[in-house]
Amino acid sequence: VLHAVDDLLVEVGYAALTMTAIAERAGVGRQTVYRWWSSKAEVLFEATMIDAGRELAVEPRGTTLDELAAFVDAVVRFLTASEAGAGYRALVGEAQHDPQVAHLMESSSLFDGAVDPVLARAVDRGDLAPTADRASVTAMLVGPVLFRVLTDGPLPDPHHVARAALAVTT
């Protein structure tokens, strides 16, 4: 079923991603889908979040700035080129219409989770004050990219974004 959802999302888009189509594609009864998930958003959430975390993981590098830039770059690739990223964009969209989906997304803290190890290492290196507002830093790393992706605008340069996010904290 999860594979069916992934495939259908890229093939027909979220609008045409109906429960009926999911069940048919998965070769499964419609009731079976409803038995395990209560809406198409929940199916997509499960199908997406499995991969999403992995794609955002950042390997340790020499400098904090490099690591942050690598993270921003991972965000860019996730949102623009990845199947899971397409699912994430659709879910953020749906969350604007459906409070239940909003709550589902809120509880995932996808980016926060991925960037936390990086920020921890930055504190160890002395590049980030232990008292700094990590949520703000995360927002400044992710936000500019997400904004431009969601509105089909020109993507900002990852290094610029990383530099700005780091600069403000010193």
Footprint of a second copy on 5-64 (CB under 8 A): 13-15
CA distances from 65 to 16, 91, 116, 153 (A): 41, 30, 15, 25
What is the spatial distance between Cα 29 and Cα 51, in angstroms, rounded to a whole number?
26
Rounded distance between C-alpha atoms, residue 146 and residue 149, angstroms: 5
13 sits near DNA (criterion: CB under 7 A): no
Binder of a second copy out of 94, 114, 115, 122 (CB under 8 A):
94
Considering CB distances under 5 to 8 angstroms, the limit depending on partner class, which of DNA, a second copy, none binds residue 27? DNA
Closer to DNA at the Cβ: 4 or 128?
Answer: 4
Residue 120 in the binding site for DNA (CB under 7 A): no
Tell me the C-alpha distance between 132 and 139, whole Å: 13
**100 vs 77: CA distance, rounded Å:** 28
Query: Which residues of the chain form contacts with a second copy (CB under 8 A)?
Result: 13-15, 89-90, 92-99, 102-103, 105-106, 112, 133, 135-136, 139-140, 142-148, 150-154, 156-157, 160-161, 163-165, 167-168
